A and B are shown apart, each in its own frame.
Chain A
Amino acid sequence: MHVMEGFLPTPWWQVWFAISIPVIAFGIYKMNKLVNEKREILPLLAVAGAFIFVLSSLKLPSVTGSCSHPTGTGVAAIIFGPAISAVLGVIVLLYQALFLAHGGLTTLGANVFSMGIVGPVVAYLVYKTGMKANLNFYLVVFLAATLGDWATYVTTSVELALAFPDPTGGFVTSFGRFATVFALTQVPLAIMEGAVTALLFKYVINVKSDVLVELKVVEESVVRKLRGLSS
């Protein structure tokens, strides 16, 4: 969920920039280290960023017929981890604002925090935990993507509630309101993106799993097990 341009007042939009920038700086540092080790990572990151942008510009199939787009945070986090997802996230969000009018420039900080940092971190943690617990791969992917998107939506609600607190109830009441209203669209959307992400990974495992193995996303043994199951 993108916060649109101009929605957050001073000083809030600066606050989120202040929080996000150090995290992104860390992401850049990690990325540079990785690129210096393995030169071929840079073109891969580039096509990954382009892929995430294009994916997020497609319309998700929906039961109600409403128009919604995937965020791509689940895919990015699982494949590249949270640090690099933050860097890719900044660039993709900038392009989304400038090319698709999703989000904005003053709200870039807030959107990066919710969609580029919190979302991927949660998705990544869920993914790693799930794999360690030896749960079914597709279930883990689904949960990682869905919970990642929920975390994003909750964070956005926090950002809005902080900027527009209730006169009597303060932050908490306001947060409750924003979260409840947006839940109507965001909760099912997250579930849909989770399902689509799991399906996406299923097709990739069946067709070109070496990509995922090479990037250390899944183990070879897991792939074989999954292939054995579905064939």
Chain B
Amino acid sequence: MTNILDDYALMSPLRYRNNWLKLTIVAFGLLAGVSAYSPIPPFFIALCMSFATVFLGKTPFRFYLKLLLAPLGFAAVGVLIIAFFSGTGAELYSFRLASYPLTVRADGLELAMLVLARSISGMCCLYFLALTTPMIELFSVLKKSGLPGSVVELSMLIYRYIFVFLDMAVQIKFAQTVRLGYGNFKKSFRSFGMLGSTLFIRSWDQGEKLFVSMNSRCYDGKMTMFETRRPVKLPELLLTSAYFLSTLTLFYLTRGVSII
């Protein structure tokens, strides 16, 4: 549990590429995805992004597949509801569930496919960002895009202490588990409550120590940003442009196309 996506980003070779380029790619993918009228452009986007993440970003393939399945619960429920209930056209498939008719209609299914495609392409874009760009690179981006300094500073401190507390939580949980703290539901409930409260108290203590520590180094409201200039290279630019163009073309061509 302590291996969050950020750690993979720190190991990815794509972390050394220009951040603005990556953000543009992701933003383009997300926007094009949620604005698409047909499922084909999103699927194309999903494919391109996945390829980039796994082959260029060197994310382990199995791990990536597992990640794609992560939001499955929500996606499945949402898509099924849409599939079954949003149609007005021809009936494709229906059955009765406890005397309640459930029908899949053509346009309902189409909308469901579209939503599914958009979600998958959205996730792939998000994963591309999360797995190739470590958070430490994004802080200067946040600052540059106009977010107030106090919020960026807060984000940086939160980032750092997430890892300290994650370790604490894992240790406490382990200590509880080896003393059989999660044997049955009742025990798990109590152990979890203890875990949460201990974590809370220790977080508070850490906060006090953090304040002393910051003051001991003359804290005056300033934290430096760390940025390295990374010029965009020609092959990257060409590849990105090709990707944009093909997506837009596909977008235009499949405007009215329906899968069903």
A residues lining the B interface (CB < 8 Å): 1-10, 13, 28, 31-32, 35, 39-40, 42-51, 53-55, 57-58, 60-63, 75, 87, 91-92, 94-95, 97-102, 104-106, 160, 164, 166-168, 174, 177-178, 181-182, 195-196, 199-204, 207-208, 211
Contacts and interface: CB of A to CB of B under 8 A. Distances in A.
B157 interface: yes
Q: Is the interface of A mostly helix, strand, loop or mixed?
A: helix
Interface stretch (B200-208, B230-238, B249-257): B200-208
A137 to B, nearest CB: 15
Most chain A CB neighbours (cut-off 10 Å) among B31, B75, B151, B191: B151
A2 B74 contact: yes
Contacts of B166: 54, 57
B74 to A, nearest CB: 5
Most chain B CB neighbours (cut-off 10 Å) among A47, A204, A208: A47
B201 A208 contact: yes
Nearest to B71: A4
Contacts of A13: 34
B57 to A, nearest CB: 14
Interface residues of B, number: 81
Contact of A99 (B42, B130, B196): B130
A196 B193 contact: yes
Interface stretch (B13-21, B90-98, B114-122, B239-247): B114-122
B6 to A, nearest CB: 5
B161 A47 contact: yes
Nearest to B70: A101
A100 B87 CA distance: 34
Given A4-B71, A28-B148, A166-B86, A105 B207 contact: no
Most chain A CB neighbours (cut-off 10 Å) among B6, B88, B135, B154: B154
Contact of B192 (A2, A7, A61, A208): A61
Contacts of B190: 199
Given A43-B208, A102-B71, A196-B196, 15 more contacts: A6-B33, A6-B123, A7-B75, A44-B211, A45-B154, A50-B158, A53-B165, A87-B151, A99-B135, A101-B71, A101-B123, A104-B126, A204-B197, A208-B204, A211-B204
A99 B157 contact: no
Most chain A CB neighbours (cut-off 10 Å) among B5, B161, B190, B219: B161
Contacts of B81: 164, 177-178, 181
Most chain B CB neighbours (cut-off 10 Å) among A8, A63, A167: A167
B122 A4 contact: yes
Contact of A167 (B34, B88, B122): B88
B77 interface: yes
Interface in B147-199: 148, 150-151, 153-155, 157-162, 164-166, 168-169, 173, 182, 185, 188-199
A203 B82 CA distance: 44
Contacts of A55: 196, 199
A199 B5 contact: no
Most chain B CB neighbours (cut-off 10 Å) among A40, A49, A61, A95: A61
Contacts of B30: 5-6, 105-106
A26 to B, nearest CB: 12
B52 to A, nearest CB: 16
Most chain A CB neighbours (cut-off 10 Å) among B160, B203, B214: B203
B60 interface: no
